[in-house]
Each structure stands twice: as structure tokens, then as C-alpha cells.
Structure 1
């Protein structure tokens, strides 16, 4: 089965080296699913054999070699354009790459729960740090119509200029066209959000079939179960590619200084006018942040 790798986002011309060029669409422990021009192939992800210190991630472009004993294996991970990464929740000083080579990050939030501004800020830092474009998608709009305007206002206050879309998937479907318009041919789009936000349901609607399992949300605390346990790259009818990341319980930031400045630039500007360089903006005299009076205490 021949595959056009341009459909999977390849724009780099002839690949370097002798291996088969492919893109990783799924990573499991020790193995990966890769699409190549000759078709999909299951390969061994053997870091000892790969000519790269980079651990393969969903979205990576790789060269696939063949070993007489192992069979197909990842020979080399090609240089990445960018990564959507966080600090590994199990390791303090280890980067966890969620998706490689991503063009757009959709921060997905369900309107059946409040949106703490601090959580949104951390998602924005995570997304902007990748260098990708960012938009916010509010799901379950048909079931929570009053919350849509309220949460949209929170998003626009925290992230002015970021597109905000509201959608409902199901019998009262609406707004999905706006999301589809963002997923243009060849673009890689990652979904980011907590469990139960409706990411998997949204992916199924965008792909046009039930490709991901969906789970119930507990009525007591609106928490969702982790229905997405791995990151899989899926081709959409629009010609774009979607990756649903597992729901994030923690949003540990990784080397995100530039993105932090983008989200908290107003604080940085005010802090420069404080009397003391180590001011923590609590009770210090001549604190410009306190004197300004517009910065929320939680920040």
C-alpha cells in the first residue's frame, strides 16, 4: 500500500541516509508504528542500535533500518522542528516529549467544570513553549450554554488574541466546522487538556469514526478516566493530522522561559519597577506589583 508522506506532513525533500523514511504515528514500550512510503510498519525502538540519543516520540520523522534478527528498527531520529514537552511527572529533571513536530496545539476544556485561570496559564506556557500556534476549544457547549460565555471571558482575559471555539459533539452537534477549519492539510495538531475534557470524543468527530475510546465523567468531582493511554497520530478527512495526548493531571514545565515571559510578561514588567530586586510582592515597601492593584493575588 503506497503512502504519500506529504500527507503526513513531510516537506523536507530527499531524506538523508540509506534507511526508509517514515513518521512515527504511535509509540509503545520498545516498539513504534511508523508510516513509510511503502506502507505502515511495526518497528523495534532499540536505543542501543539507533544512531541517535533521542528517544523516538509520536510525530518524529525517522529512518527505518532492517536487522536480520530484530527486523525493522528505528535507525535514526531526524532533527525535530519542535516538541510539545513537559517535565516527566516521575522524574524531576527529565523531559517528556508528548508530540514532536507539531504545528498547532488545541487546549481542550469541558464546560461541565470550572476553568481555574492558573491551570489555563500553565497549559498556555506548555503550548507556546513548543513554538506552535495555539487555540482553545471549549467542549460540551450544548449541555452548558451559560458556562460558555463565562469561560470564554476567562480565556480572553488570560490569553488575549488566542482563538476560542465552542463545540458540542453528539445529537446537538455544533461548532465542529470551526475546529475542522484549523486542521489544514499537512498540519500536525495536538490536543491538550485534562481527563474528561472531551478530547477523545472530539477526535472521533473530527476523524469521522470511533477511533478512540471515550469514558464517563464522575458526577461527584467531574473527573474523567484516562481513556487515552498513548499518543497516536491520526489522519483527518481535512488532510490534517491529530494527536490526542493522555489527560494531564500535572503540568510540569520544561525549559519554558520564553513562554513564561509571554504569559507573565505584565508581571515581569511591573517587577522591574519594584524597590527590591528579590521582591516577592507580598508586604514589601515600594512594590510596583502591589501598587498597580490589577494583578490577581493567585499569580
Structure 2
């Protein structure tokens, strides 16, 4: 096995003592005589990846054994992952043999009816949740992104973008601060260079920051400004409803002049939650705390006597729409959990019928963007 080569390339992309230890432990666990070196996934396309390593920027695919052993879509590499790669002599491509254990991952349910986890980004330190201060602003949608962000293990930061389009930023700022409990909230405008200095403290060398949000909130515009040049194409939003069109069509990790790493992700019309009970509880911590004050432990917060949640609704300290979204997402997560249990039960039955067989792998496991 190759000893770790401490070159500036991977150090600039976030390599640290933590990853060095993880690399050594993973190498020791593999029964392979191949020479493997560490690399980081910096872009994800349909079925291939771009990997940065001490040998430079390479195109990569997973090995046949990796694909065979993977049991779910979330087992495949995602942007931000550190992987073990095999360099091929005389070939510009490399082979991915393993993924180092993630310290964080933002996930969502795959679009459609399939019960499958999709990794939006891995090994993220901060998540910029961008929402534009135009007609598309939606506090309830922001709550959904907060749920996923808290669940990821990264620290969320809310960016209220396009502040130049809003006549009353202070009112929205106060509303967002009331729902994004304990989360920094910043009003910014790249167009008017407003509030951008507030981001400096986050942009430290080696820090990985993911930018996510709906289409048209200005993620690519922000990235271009932070990079100092155009690295992503920017499209106009629709005038009639302020809804954006997809600009980013794949996930990619960019090294900024500050030394920070910014992960741009495709805009999402809707974020379908995935196994985010802790994130849900964190996002709605105010309602959870109220529920603990109810007289009855099984209070449904409807017509029960001495219901602290209903009292908060009556005195105006709790917004009805926030409570409605609390209930809606609770039911959504419970429904997802039931469906996931049914899927797992079915897989176990199939495994009993055909012992030793592996599930068929679809190429779409590896990296389509939706």
C-alpha cells in the first residue's frame, strides 16, 4: 500500500489528521493488494465522478466489486466524499474502491415513489440555506430545509438573498429568526454588495460549505462572486412568479480564493425528507418544549385541557402555520418510516428465498441529478 503523500493538493481540499486516521483504518480493513491513495469527489455527473488527489484532477468510476457490494444508492460516492482510488498507469482515469466514513451528509428522499436515500453532499461543515426575498419566499419551505440541515450533522446558516428586491427586510429577518432557532441569519444582495462581509467568518481554509435552496435564489450568482469570476452559468428567473430555472445541473465542489470549499447543488423545487426525526425535533424545538408543558403526556394539541400548544396559539406566541407544518412533516416522516419498514421487510423475505444473492444494481444508483 502507498503511504500517505502529504501534498498541498489534497490538503487544500480539506485533508486533515482526521482523514489520515480514517484512511489508515480503512486501508487496514481492506483485503486488497492494490496501491490505493486518497482522493476527494469534487463533481458528480451521470455515472462518473471527478476526483482530486495528489496526482491531480481525474475522472473516476467505481470498481465492479464496489458496485456489486453496494446495497443502496446512498452507498455510492457523493460530492464531498473522501475515497480510496487506484491510479492506472498510462490511463487518465482512476478506479474508486472504497468510501471513507462520512462525518456528515445532507440527504433527501429520492424524487418519485421509490423509497431510496439520495446524498446531496457529504463531509460538509456548514450549510448555507439560501432563500430569495422575492415572491418565492416561503417560510414553510425554509423549515423543511432546516430539518434536513440539522439532521446532516453540519451547521446551518440561513442566507436571505436578493435583499435588494425586498422593501421590508427587517420584518422577514425577524420572522426567519423566530423559526430558525439558534441559526445565524444574514440578509445579503450580490447585486448591491449588501451584507456580503458577514460571510467572511465562514470562509476559512479547508472549511466545506454547501449552498442549497430552491432554483432561482441566487446560489450560482453568490458562488461566482465568492470565486471572483464566473464558474457557473446564471439564468434569469420568471417575472410572473419569481420562480427560478435550474442553472446548476450537477453537484460540484469549488476551491475559493479564501481557501474555503463551496459545494454548489442543483436547485430543488421540493425537498422530500428522509429519516430526519432528530432534525425535525431540532427545527421545531419551540413546539416540542411547549408540548412538554401540556397536562397530558399524550396530548394531541387540539381540544385537551391545559394544552400549552393551544395556549401559545391563542396568545399569539405560536404561529398557526408553523404548527400546521409541524404536524404535516410529523405525519410525512411517520408515513416514510412505515414504507421503509415495509421495503426492508420485503427485502429480507427475498433474501430468505434466495440466500447468497445480491440485489440487482441499477446504473441510476450512481449519480443522476433530480
Which TM-score applies when normalising by structure 2?
0.74
Q: Show the counterpart of 1:9.
A: 14
- 177, 183, 200: which one aligns with 1:180: 200
Shift of 1:92: 4.5
User: What is the CA–CA distance in structure 1 between the aligned matches of 2:113 and 2:219, rounded to whole Å?
Assistant: 26
Change (3 A) 1:260 1:104: same
Which deviations, in whole Å up to 9, do the C-alpha atoms of 1:42-100 show, x marking residues without a partner?
01134644586321100000011256999521111111111011111224521111000
Q: Show the counterpart of 1:216.
A: 236
Where 1:238 maps in the other structure, the secondary structure is coil
Shift of 1:283: 3.5
Q: Is residue 2:141 matched to residue 1:134?
A: no
User: What is the CA–CA distance in structure 1 between the aligned matches of 2:114 and 2:66, rounded to whole Å?
Assistant: 27
Provide the aligned C-alpha RMSD in A: 2.3
User: What is the CA–CA distance in structure 2 between the aligned matches of 1:51 and 1:159, rounded to whole Å?
Assistant: 42
Comparing both structures, which one devotes a greater share of its residues to helix? 2
Change (3 A) 1:117 1:47: farther
Which deviations, in whole Å up to 9, do the C-alpha atoms of 1:105-157 show, x marking residues without a partner?
0111111235332212111111111111121112222333x232122111111
User: What is the CA–CA distance in structure 1 between the aligned matches of 2:291 and 2:182, rounded to whole Å?
Assistant: 24
Larger radius of gyration: 2
Q: Show the counterpart of 1:42.
A: 59
- Preserved contact between residue 30 and residue 45 of structure 1 (Cα < 8 Å): no
Structure 1 gap segments, 5+ residues each:
none
Where 2:271 maps in the other structure, the secondary structure is coil
Q: Is residue 2:182 matched to residue 1:161?
A: yes
- Preserved contact between residue 228 and residue 247 of structure 1 (Cα < 8 Å): yes
Q: Show the counterpart of 1:148.
A: 169
User: What is the CA–CA distance in structure 1 between the aligned matches of 2:113 and 2:157, rounded to whole Å?
Assistant: 29
Shift of 1:192: 1.4
Number of aligned pairs? 296
Which TM-score applies when normalising by structure 1?
0.90
Shift of 1:282: 3.0
Q: Show the counterpart of 1:282.
A: 302
- Preserved contact between residue 80 and residue 121 of structure 2 (Cα < 8 Å): yes
Q: Structure 1 residue runs of 4+, over 6 Å off?
A: 67-70
